[in-house]
Amino acid sequence: MSFCHSVSILLIFVISPIALLAAEKEDRWGVGFQPIIGYDDDASWTFGGNSAFYYNPHPEDESQELDELGLTTTVTLNGGANVHFDITKNMNGNARVLNTVFGCERYIDYFYGTDENGAESAKEKYTAIDVPFHVSYSFNALEHLYVSAHYDFLYHDISGEGAEDALLSNELMESDRTHCSGAGIGINYKTTNPGIYKRTGYQVSLTSTSYSSALLSSSIFEYTSLGWRYYVPVLSTCVLGLQLRGETTHGDVPVNYLPSLGGNKLVRGFSGSRYMAENCISGQAEFRFPMVWRLGATVFVGGGEVADSFKDFGSHLKMAGGLGFRVMVQKKQNINIRFDLAYNSDGELMKYIKLKEAF
């Protein structure tokens, strides 16, 4: 049994009873837990848990952001496993923020080439192991404006099942056993409300990371992203959310760092590895509304495109849309389990079961 498998199974049994017994009466802390039991054609049956722990150091201050610990651990019957931690600590009120992400994942995925076509005929199956580590430190430079410095590391290994298959393309084999190490800066302007569930305000963020030999990176490249989110309250209990995101890369970019269209957060409806290229522009809109008791619903639509050159944008636009249902598992912070169904312009139906909103 691999290390990822062992840790995943242990954490599933450790966090489940702790999370389910957590009370909502405390103002300072809370827990939301989602047992994961699912199925899809890529991962087969999946079992695990997804928990969000939060702590409010100053509950008397309505503007105080929450300290958060997110933990996801899963195992799949086809040999995959995942342990993922996301920790956020606020200091001096909201003036300084330390964020750390780390984990270990073994997964089976599919490669469709690195262009905007994502042809089914180019589909190749492979197994990979990822060990990520990311740390960032941001400070409040002006009102609502945060400046950050960050370090990013990822060990990526596709030497497992399928990596020795002669049919695998050169593009994919070039990403075998890479260790990318980079540093960068970011700017984030935000007026959104504190807490996990966003209802009002907007965010604009710009980040750029350089992966270089000086930091012992096996690949030399740059990655830059620009994002925008806007939340509009409607009739006091509903929320309209809008999101735009642009990504660009330059240099010897490993396959797993290429911008992609899809996934369970931005432009739900496409596999996150189906459409990849050096540049990506995408966006989505979502309307969330309550139903009865702790049940809610949402309708959403998204679209985007990938291309190796900006002049090629406009000829391969992809669209997706759908609806979702929400079950509130933590009322104080509006922590929801979301069940989303999305239908894309390729005629495919995708299903998602996740904890917390997509954005």
Contact 138, 148 (CB under 8 A): yes
Residue 346 is encoded by which pair of tokens?
């390729």
22 band by pLDDT with thresholds 50, 70 and 90: very low
Local structure of 312: helix, strand or coil:
helix
CA nearest 172: which of 125, 205, 212? 125
Residue 270 is encoded by which pair of tokens?
């496409």
Choice among 7-21, 40-54, 200-214 with the minimum mean pLDDT? 7-21
Residue 286: which CATH number?
2.40.160.50
Q: What is the pTM of this model?
A: 0.81
What number is the average pLDDT over the span 8-36? Answer: 55
Distance, in Å, from the CA atom of 257 to the CA atom of 134, rounded to the nearest integer, reads 14
Distance, in Å, from the CA atom of 203 to the CA atom of 65, rounded to the nearest integer, reads 15
Ordered DSSP codes for 254-278: -GGGS-EE-SSSSSTTS-TTTEE-S
The DSSP call for residue 62 is T
Contact residues for 146 (Cβ-Cβ < 8 A; gap 6+): 97, 138, 139, 140, 187, 188, 189, 190
What is the tens place of the pLDDT at every residue in 257-305? 999 988 777 888 888 778 889 999 999 999 999 999 999 999 999 999 9
Amino acid letter, 283: G
- Residue 312 confidence (pLDDT): 84
- Residue 169 confidence (pLDDT): 57
Say how many domains are in the chain. 1
- Residue 1 confidence (pLDDT): 53
**Residue span of the structural domain in which 229 resides:** 3-355
The DSSP call for residue 1 is -
Distance, in Å, from the CA atom of 203 to the CA atom of 198, rounded to the nearest integer, reads 11
